[in-house]
């Protein structure tokens, strides 16, 4: 299953979207780190590296999306783009 339709990536993006909504739309780096720690203590049905990548994009100020999550995870089974959608050197 390619990254554009990967269920775990879709689930991680939904988790991030719901979290941002619950935070009132405000994304603070410290709150993201706190949430990553909470996630690591839960038995979520999502690969942890995928969830970290999705939340990590928030810290970078990048809207989480499947292509950028896949670019960070770099899993040969789900594939990944050759470049992220953002300038990696300036974020």
**Rounded to whole angstroms, how far apart are CA atoms 7 and 29?**
26
Nearest CA-CA partner of 61 in 16, 22, 27: 27
- pLDDT bin (cut points 50, 70, 90) of residue 1 is low
Q: What is the per-residue pLDDT for 89?
A: 81
65 neighbors 17 (Cβ within 8 angstroms) = no
CB-based contacts of 91, cutoff 8 Å, min separation 6: 60, 61, 62
pLDDT-derived band at 29 (thresholds 50, 70, 90) equals very high
Total count of residues recorded for the chain: 91
Q: What is the pLDDT of residue 45?
A: 87
Nearest-CA neighbor of 64 among 24, 18, 22?
A: 18
Q: How confident is the model at residue 26 (pLDDT cuts 50, 70, 90)?
A: confident
């Amino acid at each position: 299953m390619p990254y554009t339709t990967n269920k775990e990536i879709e689930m991680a993006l939904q988790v991030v979207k719901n979290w941002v909504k619950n935070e009132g739309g405000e994304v603070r780096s410290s709150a993201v780190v706190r949430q990553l720690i909470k996630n690591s203590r839960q038995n979520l049905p999502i690969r942890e590296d995928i969830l970290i990548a999705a939340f990590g994009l928030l810290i970078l100020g990048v809207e989480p999306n499947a292509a950028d999550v896949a670019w960070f995870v770099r899993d040969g089974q789900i594939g990944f783009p050759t470049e992220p959608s953002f300038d990696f050197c300036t974020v």
